[in-house]
Structure 1
Amino acid sequence: MIDMAGKKVLLTLNPEMYAELEGHAKANFMTMQELITNTLRKCVLYAAEAKKGKAGRPPKVDEPFLEYFSRKK
Protein backbone atom coordinates (compact mmCIF):
# COMPACT_ATOMS: atom_id res chain seq x y z
CA MET A 1 0.00 0.00 0.00
CA ILE A 2 1.20 3.50 -0.79
CA ASP A 3 1.88 5.79 2.18
CA MET A 4 -0.33 8.82 1.56
CA ALA A 5 1.09 10.92 4.39
CA GLY A 6 2.71 13.26 1.84
CA LYS A 7 1.49 16.45 0.24
CA LYS A 8 -2.10 16.99 -0.82
CA VAL A 9 -3.07 18.47 -4.19
CA LEU A 10 -6.40 19.88 -5.30
CA LEU A 11 -7.22 18.58 -8.77
CA THR A 12 -10.07 20.04 -10.79
CA LEU A 13 -11.36 17.88 -13.66
CA ASN A 14 -14.19 18.45 -16.07
CA PRO A 15 -17.08 15.98 -15.70
CA GLU A 16 -16.29 14.09 -18.92
CA MET A 17 -12.68 13.50 -17.91
CA TYR A 18 -13.73 12.47 -14.40
CA ALA A 19 -16.21 9.95 -15.81
CA GLU A 20 -13.54 8.52 -18.13
CA LEU A 21 -11.02 8.19 -15.30
CA GLU A 22 -13.66 6.69 -13.04
CA GLY A 23 -14.34 4.03 -15.68
CA HIS A 24 -10.63 3.18 -15.90
CA ALA A 25 -10.40 3.03 -12.12
CA LYS A 26 -13.34 0.65 -11.85
CA ALA A 27 -11.97 -1.54 -14.66
CA ASN A 28 -8.67 -1.85 -12.79
CA PHE A 29 -10.34 -2.32 -9.38
CA MET A 30 -8.78 0.90 -8.07
CA THR A 31 -10.06 4.00 -6.35
CA MET A 32 -9.75 7.33 -8.13
CA GLN A 33 -6.95 8.33 -5.78
CA GLU A 34 -5.04 5.12 -6.48
CA LEU A 35 -5.48 5.54 -10.24
CA ILE A 36 -4.25 9.15 -10.24
CA THR A 37 -1.35 8.35 -7.90
CA ASN A 38 -0.32 5.37 -10.02
CA THR A 39 -0.54 7.38 -13.25
CA LEU A 40 1.57 10.22 -11.84
CA ARG A 41 4.12 7.75 -10.47
CA LYS A 42 4.46 6.09 -13.88
CA CYS A 43 4.90 9.47 -15.57
CA VAL A 44 7.67 10.47 -13.16
CA LEU A 45 9.44 7.12 -13.54
CA TYR A 46 9.18 7.30 -17.33
CA ALA A 47 10.62 10.82 -17.34
CA ALA A 48 13.51 9.70 -15.11
CA GLU A 49 14.25 6.77 -17.44
CA ALA A 50 14.17 9.05 -20.47
CA LYS A 51 16.82 11.30 -18.90
CA LYS A 52 19.08 8.32 -18.19
CA GLY A 53 18.87 6.88 -21.69
CA LYS A 54 21.94 7.22 -23.89
CA ALA A 55 20.22 6.60 -27.19
CA GLY A 56 20.76 9.41 -29.66
CA ARG A 57 23.82 10.82 -27.93
CA PRO A 58 27.02 11.12 -29.94
CA PRO A 59 29.83 8.81 -28.84
CA LYS A 60 32.16 10.28 -26.23
CA VAL A 61 35.60 11.14 -27.61
CA ASP A 62 38.45 11.73 -25.17
CA GLU A 63 40.86 13.13 -27.74
CA PRO A 64 39.59 16.26 -29.59
CA PHE A 65 41.90 15.73 -32.60
CA LEU A 66 40.51 12.22 -33.07
CA GLU A 67 37.05 13.71 -33.46
CA TYR A 68 38.32 16.36 -35.87
CA PHE A 69 40.10 13.91 -38.18
CA SER A 70 37.56 11.11 -37.91
CA ARG A 71 35.65 9.99 -41.01
CA LYS A 72 32.43 9.75 -38.98
CA LYS A 73 30.48 12.98 -39.34
Structure 2
Amino acid sequence: DAFQDLVMRLWERRDQLDIIENKQAFSLTSMRNLCVDLLRKKLEYGGLTADIVSSAPDPQQELEEQDSLHNIHP
Protein backbone atom coordinates (compact mmCIF):
# COMPACT_ATOMS: atom_id res chain seq x y z
CA ASP A 1 0.00 0.00 0.00
CA ALA A 2 2.72 2.47 0.95
CA PHE A 3 4.67 1.85 -2.25
CA GLN A 4 1.59 2.44 -4.38
CA ASP A 5 0.88 5.64 -2.47
CA LEU A 6 4.46 6.78 -3.03
CA VAL A 7 4.30 6.10 -6.76
CA MET A 8 1.02 7.99 -7.02
CA ARG A 9 2.38 10.99 -5.08
CA LEU A 10 5.53 11.08 -7.19
CA TRP A 11 3.48 10.83 -10.37
CA GLU A 12 1.18 13.64 -9.26
CA ARG A 13 4.21 15.83 -8.54
CA ARG A 14 6.30 14.75 -11.52
CA ASP A 15 6.55 18.36 -12.76
CA GLN A 16 8.27 19.36 -9.51
CA LEU A 17 10.78 16.49 -9.42
CA ASP A 18 13.28 18.29 -11.65
CA ILE A 19 14.30 20.64 -8.85
CA ILE A 20 15.19 17.77 -6.49
CA GLU A 21 18.93 17.11 -6.50
CA ASN A 22 18.99 13.72 -4.76
CA LYS A 23 15.96 11.84 -6.02
CA GLN A 24 16.91 8.62 -4.22
CA ALA A 25 17.10 10.34 -0.84
CA PHE A 26 13.86 12.17 -1.56
CA SER A 27 12.12 8.90 -2.46
CA LEU A 28 13.41 7.08 0.62
CA THR A 29 12.42 9.94 2.92
CA SER A 30 8.99 10.09 1.29
CA MET A 31 8.55 6.34 1.77
CA ARG A 32 9.59 6.58 5.40
CA ASN A 33 7.11 9.40 6.02
CA LEU A 34 4.30 7.48 4.32
CA CYS A 35 5.02 4.41 6.44
CA VAL A 36 5.03 6.48 9.62
CA ASP A 37 1.71 8.04 8.59
CA LEU A 38 0.22 4.60 7.94
CA LEU A 39 1.47 3.31 11.30
CA ARG A 40 0.01 6.33 13.09
CA LYS A 41 -3.35 5.73 11.46
CA LYS A 42 -3.29 2.06 12.45
CA LEU A 43 -2.29 2.90 16.01
CA GLU A 44 -4.97 5.55 16.34
CA TYR A 45 -7.56 3.23 14.82
CA GLY A 46 -6.57 0.50 17.27
CA GLY A 47 -6.98 2.82 20.23
CA LEU A 48 -3.26 3.19 20.86
CA THR A 49 -1.45 6.49 20.91
CA ALA A 50 0.68 7.61 18.00
CA ASP A 51 3.38 8.71 20.44
CA ILE A 52 4.98 5.29 20.05
CA VAL A 53 5.71 5.97 16.40
CA SER A 54 6.76 9.55 17.08
CA SER A 55 9.38 8.38 19.53
CA ALA A 56 11.02 6.10 16.96
CA PRO A 57 14.67 6.98 16.41
CA ASP A 58 15.58 9.08 13.41
CA PRO A 59 17.03 6.87 10.61
CA GLN A 60 19.87 9.33 10.02
CA GLN A 61 20.74 9.23 13.71
CA GLU A 62 20.72 5.43 13.66
CA LEU A 63 23.13 5.36 10.71
CA GLU A 64 25.47 7.80 12.43
CA GLU A 65 25.45 5.68 15.59
CA GLN A 66 26.17 2.54 13.57
CA ASP A 67 29.06 4.30 11.82
CA SER A 68 30.42 5.41 15.18
CA LEU A 69 30.21 1.88 16.55
CA HIS A 70 31.86 0.51 13.43
CA ASN A 71 34.72 3.00 13.85
CA ILE A 72 35.18 1.90 17.46
CA HIS A 73 34.92 -1.84 16.70
CA PRO A 74 36.07 -2.37 13.08
The answer to whether the superposition gives a TM-score over 0.5 is: no
Which structure's CA Rg is the greater one?
1
Of structures 1 and 2, the one scoring higher in RCO (CA 8 A, sep 6+) is 2
Normalising by structure 1, what TM-score? Answer: 0.37
Structure number with the higher helix fraction is 2
Normalising by structure 2, what TM-score? Answer: 0.36
